[in-house]
Amino acid sequence: MASEFTMRVWRGDISGGEFKDYRVEAQEGMVVLDVIHTIQATQAPDLAVRWNCKAGKCGSCSAEINGKPRLMCMTRMNLFEPGETITISPIQTFPLLRDLVTDVSFNYEKAKSIPALKLKAKEADGTRRMYQDDVDRVQEFHKCIECFLCQDVCHVIRDHEDNKPEFAGPRSFVRLASLEMHPLDEEDRREFLKSDAGLGYCNITKCCTEVCPEGIHITDNAIIPLKERVVDAYYDPVVWLMNKLTGK
Amino acid sequence: MANDKYETHEYDVIVIGAGGAGLRAAIEASAAGVKTALICKSLLGKAHTVMAEGGIAAALRNVYQEDNWKVHFRDTMRGGKMLNNWRMAQLHAQEAPDRVLELEEWGALFDRTKDGRILQRDFGGHRYARLAHVGDRTGLEMIRTLQQHAVHKGIDVYMECNIQRLLKDGDRVCGAFGYWRESGKFVTFKSKAIVLATGGVGKAWKFTSNSWEYTGDGTTLAADVGADLIDMEMIQFHPTGMVWPNSVRGILVTEGVRGDGGTLRNSEGERFMFNYITDYFRAETAETEEEADAWYEDKTNNRRTPDLLPRDEVARAINAEVKAGRGSPHGGVLLDIASRRSAEYIARRLPSMHHQFKELADVDITKEPMEVGPTCHYIMGGVRVEADTAATTVPGLYAAGEVAAGLHGANRLGGNSLSDLLVFGRRAGLYAAQYAQNLEGHPSPDADQIEQYAQELLAPFNNDGGENPYTVHMALQDCMQNLVGIIRTESELKKAQTEIASLKERLAKVTVEGHRQYNPGWNLALDLQSLLTTAEATTMGALERKESRGGHTREDHPGPDPDKYGKINLVLRRKDGELSLSEEPLPEMPDDLKELFEESK
Ligand SMILES: Cc1cc2nc3c(=O)[nH]c(=O)nc-3n(C[C@H](O)[C@H](O)[C@H](O)COP(=O)(O)OP(=O)(O)OC[C@H]3O[C@@H](n4cnc5c(N)ncnc54)[C@H](O)[C@@H]3O)c2cc1C
Ligand code: SF4
Ligand code: SF4
Ligand code: FES
């Protein structure tokens, strides 16, 4: 049940490049990443691409497939009509290194700046107690595989390179929310959220939520509650404290 | 450093590999106050550890009070068919609980018991529910926690930097040499001590749960500087990989599916595992379906289901069923959890399995069974280390995690790898730091040596042999899959040796196109060196061990040989460029630990 496709793949580096067409046969069940590997093995041995798990768990293989940010290992070829031309380009928001590989160091730099977890004292018996109900919401954020597709799609940095220094992006907000809502955390990140992470730039377009392969409700569950905290903090420190203590 | 031709960095300790073992080692070394660097060939956070699913084994006693380190120790040794280094198994069982609790201090959020503590799940070969977990994405939780902790501690991280050679000063290591994937340019690390934490070798096989990174770099780097390897014949084939579609064949299906209630059936609907209970595990395994079913609800008064026998046993059983013509449509067997558990339960406990099957195979595991079969998963063998310090046989060189050998013996229990990474990653970091602190002077690699390595690494660009690296790699994978798989026999192993020898000749003719910048063809050409070394080592060991034990099954020597091979490790060492093999006695277990095994007979 093999079908023929034309894969139009970006080839090039910062000095320039172009889309190149490769005709390939996709066997039943194949994903885009399999087809890229077939091209590598038979037509273009130096085609640059990142991947690791081939199962949607590591977040390495992000690209734009027909213009949509997706994981190549979780995009089945049977999504497309046989004979169709499928365009594969590198994610746009970050500087190109080569072919499908981009320089994602922006995300690692932002991660360094986030104020770390600060746990309160242990229970009297020396243990930590946390209940499933309290950790559920934070576990949603911990599902993040750092594919940076949300960062790629967010217009604040996709369309405005110059916002990058002031805006940490949706991935960072997910991490900040996970720290802020950790049941035992005591750190105060309100000033950081407002001034350093640029939470105010986000105008809740929800594009990030739409592309998240882990189905994390980035806007509703992370960003909006963070925005509320920052606002509460400015108008009513007591409300902020209550939120913090009850993990809301 | 003006007189260095290539980019050069100097550290007290470098850690090669940023999975669980490498991260934990770097955290410990840095905390000991030495200048530490962490190097990895993918981006940070993408190492294999991120893919681990089921959980971390540690006798926390949150679910079963009866559990303790001795029971965990005994399970590990018996699961490893007593080939394990007893001291490593002891340290591992004793220290794992503290290492897991430490992760919680650093921000990990495991699934919880009703009274707010860390929940533990059942896994194969573990007497009690012992695996701390987060649904079926435990590795992600672990690597992210360690990664963030390391980042906040300010450890220097070199990503997408591929180490190709270790450097020596006399008999000691003094650094490492490799290239940046991004630019293809060379880089030298001068270092007093080195921790290897490079993971495994599975990419030498065709059907594997392992990623492109698993090319046996660490074992080869170590062997090349004269370190001992042991147990290289001990390869774990995980019983449950996906088998269909072909393009996803080998991707892992966590043992957590069986731990949480999934059962294996053949094409006739029979729960065949009851036919494969060996004497070794008979006393602790249910004999009837009724007892096995009752065990899910009441674990104290029933014995465990044979679906959860150790992996080597289950993989062999599936292999035999398929061979006997009782396989599923695509050559596996059926794994069914839908008939025991509700859709809601499955989606909560096994979300990533649910997602993976739905997206990749159009199978809804809350309604239908999965088709599964064995996949190359893990190597128990590797670099020989001293139990307490993780020191290899070369001064200054340490090893931890999957690249090191000894803890798991002939077969690893599920969940014992993640705990291994933490326990021995920490120890490797600690002792490497101590070694570096006690060493006088600066590490000084030999510039001529470095230049020779640089030329070797560039050879594939200058060759005109015309071999394609991808074709050579596929030929190796076919060879290992067909001739050095789950069931082995002398004639096939000898054939594999001949094929590996001819692949080595083909490797010398591999030619790559293009330039050095992010060039996967060139990178693979270099990886083939370590893939072939590992394949050669595994085949040599497999040929020599004339018995069946754990991850090594010989059709022509079907039983264990307790008097000879049960008492020895096969040790591989490079002599004048060639690997040579010798037999050495296993470390002798002290009497008080021996008693743990006698009591239970
Ligand atoms: C799908 C899957 C599920 C699993 N589930 C479980 C489970 O539930 N429980 C369990 O206990 N175990 C599980 N395992 C096993 C366990 O995950 C691995 O054994 C373990 O993560 C290995 O960790 P490590 O730190 O030794 O190496 P890895 O995490 O693989 O890290 C290796 C590191 O070395 C680097 N590296 C390698 N070569 C070089 C080089 N030449 N130069 C520079 N860097 C290099 C890599 O970039 C990487 O950073 C699973 C394995 C797989 C594949
Ligand atoms: S919701 Fe906010 S963070 Fe998400 S894409 Fe829109 S602007 Fe960016
Ligand atoms: S939040 Fe979702 S889209 Fe963003 S990096 Fe994490 S997994 Fe990717
Ligand atoms: S390769 Fe890991 S997410 Fe695609």
Tell me, yes or no, if B471 comes closer than 8 A to chain A by beta carbon.
yes
CB distance B525 to B460 below 8 Å: yes
pLDDT value at position B2? 44
Judged by CB atoms closer than 8 Å, whether chains meet at A119 and B109 is answered as no
pLDDT value at position A1? 65
- The pLDDT tens digits of the residues spanning B348-361 come to 999 999 999 999 99
Tell me, yes or no, if B109 comes closer than 8 A to chain A by beta carbon.
yes
Cα B152 to Cα A229: distance, rounded to the nearest angstrom: 24
pLDDT value at position A190? 92
Atom of ligand 1 nearest to the CA of B54: 8
The residue whose C-alpha atom lies closest to atom 3 belonging to ligand 3 is: A212
Name the band, by pLDDT with cuts 50, 70 and 90, for residue B1. Answer: very low
Cα A113 to Cα B504: distance, rounded to the nearest angstrom: 48
Q: Which stretches of chain A drop beneath a pLDDT of 50? A: none
Give φ, ψ of B475 to 5 degrees.
-65, -40
- Any ligand 2 atom below 6 A from CB of A207: yes
pLDDT above 90: residue B21: yes
Give every CB contact of residue B228 below 8 A, 6+ residues apart in sequence.
Answer: B383, B384, B392, B393, B571, B572, B573
Give every CB contact of residue B324 below 8 A, 6+ residues apart in sequence.
Answer: none
Cα A208 to Cα A200: distance, rounded to the nearest angstrom: 16
Q: Most B CBs within 10 Å: which of A1, A34, A46, as the mutation test of the B interface?
A: A46
B520-544 helix and B217-224 helix, angle to the nearest 10 degrees: 70
pLDDT value at position B511? 95
pLDDT value at position B442? 87
pLDDT above 70: residue B3: no
Average pLDDT score over residue span B22-35: 98
Mean pLDDT (chain B) is 95
The percentage of chain B sitting over the pLDDT mark of 90, rounded to a whole number, equals 93
Tell me, yes or no, if B597 comes closer than 8 A to chain A by beta carbon.
no
Average pLDDT score over residue span B248-269: 94
Distance from CA of A235 to the nearest CA of B (A): 30
Average pLDDT score over residue span B457-480: 95
**Residue whose structure tokens are 């380190």:** B69
pLDDT above 50: residue B42: yes
Judged by CB atoms closer than 8 Å, whether chains meet at B513 and A45 is answered as yes
Which 8-state DSSP code applies to residue B480? H
Mean pLDDT (chain A) is 94
Ligand nearest to the CA of B251: 1
Name the band, by pLDDT with cuts 50, 70 and 90, for residue B409. Answer: very high
pLDDT above 50: residue B174: yes
Average pLDDT score over residue span B518-529: 96
**A-chain residues near B513 (CB < 8 A):** 45-46
The percentage of chain B sitting over the pLDDT mark of 70, rounded to a whole number, equals 99
- Any ligand 1 atom below 6 A from CB of B217: yes
pLDDT value at position B4? 77
Length of chain B: 601
pLDDT value at position A235? 63
More confidently predicted of B466 and B162: B162
Judged by CB atoms closer than 8 Å, whether chains meet at A142 and B111 is answered as no
pLDDT above 60: residue B194: yes
CB pairs < 8 Å spanning A and B: 155
The residues of B assigned a catalytic role are 311
Q: Pairing relation of β-strands A3-13 and A85-89?
A: parallel
| Beta bridge mates, A4 | A25
CB distance B262 to B336 below 8 Å: yes
Judged by CB atoms closer than 8 Å, whether chains meet at A29 and B50 is answered as no
pLDDT value at position A247? 57
pLDDT value at position B598? 81
The residue whose C-alpha atom lies closest to atom 8 belonging to ligand 3 is: A147
Average pLDDT score over residue span B224-228: 97
pLDDT value at position B601? 44
CB distance A47 to B513 below 8 Å: no
- The pLDDT tens digits of the residues spanning B183-192 come to 999 999 999 9
pLDDT value at position A232? 75
pLDDT above 70: residue B299: yes
pLDDT value at position A157? 97
Both tokens of residue B238?
A: 């995980």
- The pLDDT tens digits of the residues spanning B121-153 come to 999 999 999 999 999 999 999 999 999 999 999
Both tokens of residue B27?
A: 């955290």
**Residue whose structure tokens are 């599975």:** B202
Choose among B51, B101, B519: nearest Cβ to A46: B519
- Any ligand 1 atom below 6 A from CB of B135: no
CB distance B385 to B392 below 8 Å: yes
